[in-house]
Amino acid sequence: QVQLVESGGGLVQTGGSLRLSCGASGRTFSIQAMGWFRQAPGKEREFVAAIRWFGGRDAYADSVKGRFTISRDNAKNTLYLQMNSLKPEDTAVYYCAASEVIGTMTFQNRYAYWGQGTQVTVSS
């Protein structure tokens, strides 16, 4: 089992920045990739960004490309999401997820472990 705990959410104005963190514990040696997903009120959960745990290859949703940066610190078993130029449409609960499989990182069903989520609210 892998346990994930997110932090760093909050309220920010349009154009502002936030950095989310996700600490992993447990069977961290089995992690192949980690990602961020988000769910806005009344909408389905969607892919935001993901990164290979070894090698660092990353992927982004078109809606956040150029504004968000995903990174990881393997030594600390921590995943980050730097969010810049935030927009009201970025408002959502952001979830950290971990995958033990190698393959496409953008599909939710690739991820077996999920955090509880952290709220990000961008005011206009």
Which residue's structure tokens are 């995943």? 79
- For 79-122, how does the pLDDT look when each residue is reduced to its tens digit (9 = 90+)? 999 999 999 999 999 999 999 998 889 999 999 999 999 999 99
Residue 55's pLDDT is 81
The number of CA neighbours under 13 Å toward the Cβ of 121 is: 5
